[in-house]
Amino acid sequence: MNDVTLSLDEVRDLATRALLANGCNQANADAVADTVTAAERDGCKSHGLFRIPGYVKSLKNGKINGQSTPVVMQPGPCIVKVDGDRGLAPLALQMARAPLIEAARKNGMAALAIRRSHHYAALWPETEALAIEGLVGMAFVNSPPYMAPAGGKAPFFGTNPMSFAWPRPDGGAVVWDQATAATARGELQIAKRDGHAAPECAGIDRDGNPTTDPAAILEGAQLPFGGYKGGAIALMVDLLCGPLIDEVSSQEVAAEDNGDGGPATGGELVLAIDPGHFGGANAIARGERLLDALSSMDGVRLPGNRRLAARAQTPTHGAAIPASLHQAIQDLL
Ligand code: NDP
C-alpha cells in the first residue's frame, strides 16, 4: 500500500481544513485537529487522520453540531459539569480543563462530567494533560454497543475505554489508555481495510463463533479483554459514564445513534487527584521508586513508552498515512 508522509503541520492543516469545509467552526475544528495531530505524532493511527471521514459524515448528516458552544458549570467545589451542546468532545474537554485542575488543586480531588457530547478519540490526551500539571488523572468514556459481555453472543457494552496518568517529577507522565475490548474497534477497522487478521479472542461472528476475520467481528461482536474481568470493568465504565451523570448507557446509545459509524453520543467522566493533598511530596518520590523498579525488570516497559518513542521521532520522520486515506480527505475539502 502506498503511503503519503506528512509533517505534523500538514496533518493539522489537513484536518482543520476538512473540518472547516464540512460544518465546524474554527474553535471546534482547532480542538479536534489538535487531538488528530497528537494521535499522528504519537503513532496512534486509529485516532489520527483515519477518523476525519467519520467526523465529516456525522457533521454533514447533522448528528454532530460543528458549531457547538459547550457550557461549563460548577455546581459544587469539586464538581465540573459540561453540556457539550451535541458537539465533539475535544472543545468541551479543552474548556473544562482549567476549572477541573483548579478544583482538584484546591480540594484535593475533583470530577468532570461531560454530557451531550461525541467522543471518538483516545483518552490519553485528557489524562496526560492532568499529569503534566502534577495531578493523577483518570478518564472513562462509554460508546455504542459493540462488545458482548462474557458468555453473551450479542453486543451489549461499548468498547468503553479508560485511561490513567501519573505525574513524574520531570514534568512528564506515565499513562495507560485502553479499551475494555480485547482489541480497539479502530484497530479492527484498520485490519479489515488492510486485509490483516484480527488477534485471537478479539471477537465472535454473528452466530457467536470465535473468529479472527475482522469483517465478521465488526458484524458480530467484540469480546472484553480477560473474559468476565474485562466485562466487569466495561460495566463499571458504563455506569460511571451513563447513569451516574444522567447520560445514556451503551445500550441506549444505540437507540439514539443514526448508525453512520461516526462518533456516537455518550458520557465522559474525568477524575483529577492532587497527590499533594494525600501523600504530599512523598507520593511522587515513592511513585518514582515503584516505576524505576518496574521498568528495570527484564522484558518490561512502562505503558505509554511506545507513544513517547513515536513522539520523539515523528517531528523528524513525519507521519505516514495511506495514500487512499490522504485522497479521501482531500476529496472532502
Ligand atoms: P492498546 O492495547 O494498544 O494499549 C493499551 C495500553 O497498554 C496503552 O497504554 C499501551 O501503551 C499499553 N501497552 C501496550 N503494550 C504494552 C506492553 N508490552 N507493556 C506495557 N504497556 C503496554 O490499546 P487499545 O487497543 O485497548 O485502545 C486503543 C485506543 O482506543 C485507546 O487510546 C482508547 O482510548 C481508544 N478508544 C476510544 C474509544 C472511544 O469511544 N473514544 C473506544 C475504544 C477505544 P503504548 O501506547 O505505549 O503502547
Q: How long a stretch of residues is the chain?
A: 333
Tens digit of each residue's pLDDT (9 = 90 or more) over 46-82:
899 999 999 999 999 999 999 999 999 999 999 999 9
Note if 118 is an active site residue: no
207 alpha carbon – ligand 1 mean position (Å): 28
Note if 196 is an active site residue: no
pTM: 0.95
Q: Give how far the C-alpha of residue 214 lies from the chain's centroid of Cα atoms, to the nearest Å.
A: 21
Contact 72, 90 (CB under 8 A): no
Residue 89 CA: nearest ligand 1 atom is 41
Residue 326 is predicted with a pLDDT of: 97
91 alpha carbon – ligand 1 mean position (Å): 22
Note if 46 is an active site residue: yes
Weakest mean pLDDT among 91-100, 102-111, 179-188:
179-188
Among 81, 123, 124, smallest CA distance to 99 is for 81
Tens digit of each residue's pLDDT (9 = 90 or more) over 256-307:
899 898 999 999 999 999 999 999 989 999 999 999 999 999 999 999 999 9
Say how many CA atoms lie within 13 Å of 313 toward its Cβ. 12
Distance (Å, whole) CA 161 – CA 212: 22
Contact 256, 213 (CB under 8 A): no
Tell whether ligand 1 has an atom less than 6 A from the beta carbon of residue 128. Answer: no
Closest C-alpha to ligand 1, atom 5: 178
Q: Phi then psi for 141, rounded to 5 degrees?
A: -140, 140
Closest C-alpha to ligand 1, atom 1: 178
Q: Which three cell numbers stand for residue 237?
A: 465504565
Query: Is the confidence at residue 248, as pLDDT, over 70?
Result: yes
